[in-house]
Each structure stands twice: as structure tokens, then as C-alpha cells.
């Protein structure tokens, strides 16, 4: 039986603590759209996406209103586009990107992810063409997100792809320099990319997935922070972890409800709930502020990694019982420009890229939404990618790099993307040249951890 | 099917009448009411049965929100599923 206290708690979470469902993402397989003619392919792709997702936004909005919980984003993820493109005679990936953009606009979604290639062991047909087209594709579209998987625990790291992606990230920034370098904010380089991730920019619809599926990603850093603030400074860390677990459970139950509701109304199978704590630039909706509530003077100081490890673990433990199927990234995100507390810590100089790298070894993703100096050489970007991929590969976890070279800007200047992508300062990098290492190419062999059979 | 209507705002004459009047207009049955007045703030929670509601639930949500706005109150009308999901196992 419901009591007044529970009802008011839920309403406070939504009204004052920014509780929301961050995204419902419809995964759509495009494998049946392959064609040797690019124009026919584009038509089939447009038709299938607009057919499957025609009611996605409307259904999301109806659920939002009935349950009274904001569903911030309605998104689509597709089969990695390189696979769809592979059978084409003329692999014009930009043309495909434009068809995807039209489909995304028709459906009214916020983002469409899956302009992707999986090259962790090597390039196959279509992969290179797609990757080379990413900078242009991101500059001529607004809703398309690209991702490239360059490593995995089982396969090792494809260093040729790592070297290539350093250049691609730079080009994506250069081509969109007149629009605040927005290109690379929609491009992520992954290791151990999950196939059912509902969050952008890394979402794509894996080949083992059903034809069409609904995944949901929850949010709620503000709720966790408020719960910790109520607890006060006297609780020990066991008790703090317990509070985080209970809060994560409630947040995830709501995500599960929304996902199931969307799945049954759309007649599409329910895939997973992603248990991530996804921050927004809104004050109070920050992962950094949770860490500060746990007891750090400022995010980025010593102790940050330990506090984040505990937070990440407690979120999973609380969330896992609340959902019938958990997947995606499931952990705390640390995107610098999307998190008010991280923006503040980066501006003050307390949060540095070296600390962020350490944090990525215990949280769900990686170096995310970090502005770097505009004159950063491609090899340095590649080396950042290689470091992150190594952390993911060895620890059997997903890691990623989404850095934005701020063309024409130096350390301390700012980039503002607006909306959920936020804003932030250009952060300093260690620029000792890794050029020889990067240019060696080849493949870093899979680690011992891969030999589990 | 049940929903929860919460009303928060400055206390005034006739709040309960206005909200329950609107419910009855749409054949929404009020099954339970708790209300408290702290200092001069009015806070009411209503459990209502919406099975026989004569308009779509989303329209009722909009109407209640508008009723609140017109009277200087904040009225939320939410399906009970969200509270059950969050607070019961």
C-alpha cells in the first residue's frame, strides 16, 4: 500500500532532484537493408527506420505524461553502418549518413547512433570507407553519432585503427571549427564496446541483437547526492554505500517500468536497462557533486578514484535487483563538459586528465567530453586512445575516448556545445611525443585475461 | 486503474472542492484523501480510480495541471504504477 511519505519522496526526486529517464533507445537491425546500389540501400534504410520508430517519440511522450517522469531523450541505434555498407559497389558513407539524418529528423529523435565500425582485430570491407567519412558525415548532419571499436579483451588493440582515429578526431574538429568543434563531441572511440548500449555517442545495435529492441538508460545523480546530503557527515562508508544502493534501486525500478511500458506499447521486445548515473550540466545533477558529498573538497583530488569506485559498485548492486535485464554500460559516467561539478573542478585546475584516466579504470566508460588544445597532434590523440583502450582491455571493461580538439584555442579557453553536451575549459595535456610508438602500427596482442576457456 | 493526485500550494477556501469537482466531472472516483496544512501551506494527496474516466488519462493530467496554475497551486496527476515500481518489491 502506498503511503504519503513514499509519494512525496518520488515527487521530490522528480521535481527537485532532477530524476529522469535519460533515454529510451530503439535498436534497429539494418542487416536486411543491404544492397549493392547505394541509393537503393539508403532508401531501404530510411524506410525501415521510419517504419520501426514512427511511434517512438509519441509513445515516449505519452508515457512521460502518464507516469509524470521526464524521458529526456528518445533515440535510435542501428547496426554498425560499416556492415550495412560493406556489400555496396560505391561505398559512399556520407550519402548513408544523410539518409540516416533524414530518418532521424522524420522520427523526431534526439540522436541516432551507429555510424560505426568494429575494427578491434582489423579492417574488413566497408570499415575504412566509413571511418574516413566520419569527419564529413558529422559535419553535414546534426543527429548522427559515430563510434569505432578499436580494441577488446579477446582481440587486443588494433593500433592501425588507433593511429587512424587520432587523425579522424582532429579532422572532425577542423571541419566543424566554425560551430564550436561539435563534430568530435558526436564521435567516440571504444574498447570492449557493448552491443546494447542506449547512451550516445557510443550506441549501436549489435549483430547478436533482435531485429528491433527497446533499451532504456536511467539517470539520477541529483537523487543520490540529495540522499547522501540527508545522511550527513557522520555515517561510515558502509552506510554510505547502503544509501547509494537503495537510491539506485529506486531509480532503476523506474527505468525498468518505463522500458517495459514502451516495449509493450510499441510491440517491440524489451532489451535492457542501463544502470548508469548520467549527469547533466544542470546544477545539482552532477556525479562530481556526489563525490564531494561523500567527503572530497573537490573532485579530482586524491581520494577521488576510491570514492568513485565505491559509488560505481554501489550503483550496480542497487540497480541489478531492480531490473530483469541489465546491460549497456551500467556505471557512473564522468563526462567533463556535461557535469557541473567536473566543469568547476576542471576550471579550477583540481581535475586533470591524468586523474580522469585513473578514474576511468573504476567507472563505467572513459575519457569523456574533454576539451583539449587545438594544436594537439594526431599522434597524441591516438596515444590517449591507446592508453584508454589498454585500461579497458586489461580490466575486461568498456573504456572510451571522446575528446574535442578545440581548434584555434589554448588551455584555459572555453568551448560551449549547448544542451546536454554542456561546456568546459580546454584542459592541458602532456605532449611528449608518442609518434614512433603510434606509427609502429600493428596489433597489441590480447592479454592473458582473454584466455578464460 | 488508479492514479495519484497531489496538490501543493497556499491554503485557500475551496481547494478540495475544486479538485474533487473536476474529478467527478470526468467520472474519476476519489478513493482516499490525506491532507495536511503546515503553517499556511496546503498539501493534499488523493488516490483516485481512473477506470471510468471519460477522457484519456494524458488529457486529465493536462487539465489538472491547468487547474493548478489557474489557482496558484501545483497539481500533479500521476499513474500509480510509478509509485508502486519505486516503493514496492
Per-residue pLDDT reduced to its tens digit, A198-250 = 999 999 999 999 999 999 998 889 999 999 999 988 999 999 999 999 999 99
Mean pLDDT of A175-187: 95
Instruction: Indicate the DSSP class of residue A262.
Output: H
Residue to substitute from A67, A247, A322, interface B, most B β-carbons within 10 A: A67
- Per-residue pLDDT at A280: 86
Residue A99 and residue B29: Cα distance in Å, rounded? 50
Express each pLDDT in B8-46 by its tens digit: 888 888 888 999 999 999 999 999 999 888 777 888 999
**CB of A125 within 8 Å of any CB in chain B?**
no
| Percent of chain A residues past pLDDT 90, beyond the cut | 87
**CB of B55 within 8 Å of any CB in chain A?**
no
Between strands A21-28 and A71-78, the pairing is parallel
Residues of A in contact with B61 (CB under 8 A): 65-66, 68
| Percent of chain A residues past pLDDT 70, beyond the cut | 100
Nearest C-alpha neighbor of A150 from the set A386, A333, A394: A386
- Residue B47: is its pLDDT beyond 80? yes
- Per-residue pLDDT at A1: 65
- Per-residue pLDDT at A288: 95
- Residue A419: is its pLDDT beyond 90? no
ipTM, 2 decimals? 0.86
- Residue A173: is its pLDDT beyond 90? yes
The more confidently predicted of residues A237 and A6 is A237
SS3 state of residue A306 = helix
- Residue A15: is its pLDDT beyond 90? no
pLDDT band for A180, please (50, 70, 90 cuts). very high
B8: Cβ contacts below 8 Å, ≥ 6 apart: B41, B42, B43, B44, B73, B74
Among A6, A66, A69, select the one facing B87 at the smallest CB separation.
A6
Residue to substitute from B65, B87, B89, interface A, most A β-carbons within 10 A: B87
Alpha carbon dihedral A347, A352, A356, A359, in 10-degree steps, equals: -100
Nearest C-alpha neighbor of A46 from the set A117, A123, A107: A107
B41: Cβ contacts below 8 Å, ≥ 6 apart: B8, B9, B10, B11
**Cβ atoms of residues A249 and A306 within 8 Å:** no
Residues 19-58 of A with CB under 8 A from B: none
Grid cell locating A75? 533515440
Among B6, B45, B58, select the one facing A66 at the smallest CB separation.
B58
Chain A residue with Cα closest to B1: A66
Mean pLDDT for all residues in chain A: 94
Express each pLDDT in B70-79 by its tens digit: 999 999 999 9
Instruction: Chain B: give the shortest CA distance to residue A64, in Å.
Output: 9
Does residue A126 come out as left (phi exceeding 0), alpha (psi in the -120 to 50 range) or beta? left
Q: Do B86 and A11 touch (CB under 8 A)?
A: no
Q: Do B45 and A7 touch (CB under 8 A)?
A: yes
**CB of B35 within 8 Å of any CB in chain A?**
no
pLDDT band for A184, please (50, 70, 90 cuts). very high
Q: Do A8 and B87 touch (CB under 8 A)?
A: no
Mean pLDDT of A80-96: 95
State the sign of the Cα–Cα–Cα–Cα dihedral A382, A384, A386, A388: negative
Express each pLDDT in A327-373 by its tens digit: 988 888 999 999 999 999 999 999 999 999 999 999 878 999 999 99
Residue A334 and residue B45: Cα distance in Å, rounded? 38
**CB of A66 within 8 Å of any CB in chain B?**
yes
Q: Do B81 and A67 touch (CB under 8 A)?
A: yes
Between strands A144-152 and A187-191, the pairing is parallel
Q: Do A8 and B45 touch (CB under 8 A)?
A: yes
A304-320 and A287-294 helices, crossing angle to 10°: 110
pLDDT band for A415, please (50, 70, 90 cuts). very high
Q: Which domain holds residue B42?
A: 2-87
**CB of B78 within 8 Å of any CB in chain A?**
yes
Nearest C-alpha neighbor of B44 from the set A301, A8, A200: A8
pLDDT band for A54, please (50, 70, 90 cuts). very high
Instruction: Indicate the DSSP class of residue A199.
Output: S
Place of cell 473536476: B22
Q: Do A7 and B76 touch (CB under 8 A)?
A: no
Q: How far apart are the first and last CA of chain A?
A: 49
Place of cell 564529413: A136
Q: CB pairs under 8 A, 24+ apart, for B54-62?
A: B54/B26, B54/B27, B55/B26, B57/A66, B57/B1, B57/B3, B58/A62, B58/A65, B58/A66, B60/B3, B60/B26, B60/B28, B61/A65, B61/A66, B61/A68, B62/A65
Residue A370 and residue A309: Cα distance in Å, rounded? 21
Correct CATH for A27-191 of 3.30.300.30, 3.30.70.360, 3.30.420.40, 3.20.70.20: 3.20.70.20
Residues of A in contact with B57 (CB under 8 A): 66
Cis check: omega of the bond before A201, within 30 degrees of 0: yes
**Cβ atoms of residues A96 and A38 within 8 Å:** yes
How many distinct structural domains can be found in chain B? 1
Domain ranges of chain A: 27-191, 216-445
Q: Do A2 and B4 touch (CB under 8 A)?
A: yes
Express each pLDDT in A257-294 by its tens digit: 999 999 999 999 999 999 888 888 887 789 999 999 99
**CB of A324 within 8 Å of any CB in chain B?**
no
Phi/psi at A118 (5° precision): -110, 105
Determine which helix (DSSP H) or strand (DSSP E) holds B47, and give its type and residue range.
strand B41-49
Q: What is the CATH number of the domain that holds B53?
A: 3.30.70.260
A304-320 and A353-360 helices, crossing angle to 10°: 30
DSSP string covering A43-109: HHHHHHHHHHTTTHHHHHHHHHHHHT--EEEEEEEES-HHHHHTT-SS--HHHHHHHHHHHHHHHT-
CATH code at A216-445: 3.20.70.20
Amino acid at each position: 500500500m502506498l503511503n504519503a511519505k513514499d509519494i512525496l519522496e518520488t515527487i521530490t526526486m522528480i521535481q527537485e532532484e532532477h530524476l529522469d529517464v535519460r533515454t529510451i533507445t530503439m535498436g534497429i537491425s539494418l542487416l536486411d537493408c543491404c544492397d549493392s546500389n547505394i541509393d537503393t540501400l539508403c532508401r531501404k534504410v530510411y524506410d525501415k527506420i521510419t517504419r520501426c520508430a514512427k511511434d517512438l517519440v509519441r509513445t515516449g511522450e505519452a508515457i512521460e505524461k502518464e507516469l509524470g517522469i521526464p524521458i529526456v531523450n528518445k533515440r535510435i541505434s542501428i547496426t554498425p553502418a560499416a556492415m550495412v555498407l560493406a556489400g555496396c559497389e560505391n561505398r559512399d558513407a556520407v550519402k548513408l549518413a544523410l539518409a540516416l539524418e533524414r530518418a532521424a529528423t522524420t522520427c523526431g529523435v534526439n540522436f541516432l547512433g551507429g555510424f560505426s565500425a568494429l575494427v578491434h582485430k582489423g579492417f574488413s570491407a566497408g570499415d575504412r570507407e566509413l571511418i574516413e567519412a566520419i569527419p564529413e558525415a558529422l559535419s553535414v548532419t546534426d543527429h548522427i553519432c559515430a563510434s569505432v571499436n578499436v580494441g577488446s579483451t579477446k582481440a587486443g588493440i588494433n593500433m592501425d585503427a588507433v593511429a587512424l582515429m587520432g587523425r579522424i578526431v582532429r579532422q572532425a574538429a577542423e571541419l566543424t571549427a566554425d560551430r564550436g568543434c561539435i563534430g568530435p563531441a558526436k564521435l567516440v572511440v571504444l574498447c570492449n564496446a557493448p552491443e546494447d548500449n542506449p547512451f550516445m555517442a557510443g550506441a549501436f545495435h549489435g549483430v547478436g541483437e533482435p531485429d528491433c529492441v527497446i533499451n532504456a538508460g536511467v539517470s539520477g545523480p541529483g537523487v543520490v547526492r540529495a540522499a547522501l546530503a540527508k545522511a550527513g557527515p557522520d555515517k561510515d562508508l558502509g552506510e554510505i554505500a547502503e544509501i547509494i544502493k537503495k537510491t539506485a534501486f529506486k531509480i532503476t525500478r523506474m527505468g525498468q517500468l518505463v522500458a517495459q511500458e514502451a516495449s509493450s506499447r510499441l510491440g517491440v521486445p524489451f532489451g535492457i536497462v542501463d544502470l548508469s548515473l548520467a549527469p547533466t550540466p544542470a546544477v545539482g545533477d552532477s556525479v562530481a557533486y556526489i563525490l564531494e558529498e561523500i567527503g572530497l573538497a573537490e573532485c579530482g583530488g586524491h581520494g577521488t578514484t576510491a570514492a568513485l569506485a565505491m559509488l560505481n559498485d554501489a550503483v550496480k548492486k542497487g540497480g541489478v535487483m531492480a531490473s530483469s535485464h541489465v546491460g549497456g554500460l551500467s556505471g557512473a559516467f564522468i563526462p567533463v563538459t556535461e557535469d557541473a561539478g567536473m566543469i568547476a573542478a576542471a576550471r579550477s585546475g583540481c581535475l586533470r586528465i591524468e586523474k580522469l584516466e585513473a578514474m576511468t579504470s573504476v567507472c563505467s566508460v572513459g575519457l569523456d567530453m574533454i576539451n583539449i588544445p587545438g594544436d594537439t597532434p594526431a599522434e597524441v590523440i591516438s596515444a590517449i586512445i591507446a592508453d584508454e583502450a589498454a585500461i579497458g582491455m586489461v580490466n575486461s571493461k568498456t573504456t572510451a575516448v571522446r575528446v574535442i580538439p578545440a581548434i584555434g584555442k589554448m588551455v584555459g579557453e572555453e568551448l560551449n556545445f549547448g544542451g546536454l553536451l554542456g561546456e568546459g575549459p580546454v584542459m592541458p595535456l602532456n605532449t611528449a611525443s608518442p609518434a614512433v610508438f603510434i606509427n609502429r602500427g600493428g596489433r597489441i596482442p590480447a592479454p592473458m585475461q582473454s584466455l578464460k576457456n | 486503474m488508479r492514479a495519484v493526485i497531489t496538490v501543493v500550494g497556499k491554503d485557500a477556501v475551496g481547494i478540495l472542492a475544486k479538485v474533487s469537482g473536476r474529478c467527478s466531472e470526468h467520472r474519476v472516483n476519489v478513493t482516499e484523501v490525506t491532507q495536511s496544512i503546515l503553517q499556511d501551506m496546503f498539501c493534499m494527496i488523493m488516490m483516485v480510480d481512473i477506470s471510468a474516466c471519460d477522457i484519456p488519462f494524458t488529457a486529465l493530467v493536462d487539465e489538472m495541471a491547468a487547474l493548478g496554475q489557474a489557482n496558484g497551486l501545483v497539481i500533479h496527476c500521476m499513474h500509480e504504477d510509478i509509485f508502486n515500481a519505486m516503493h514496492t518489491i
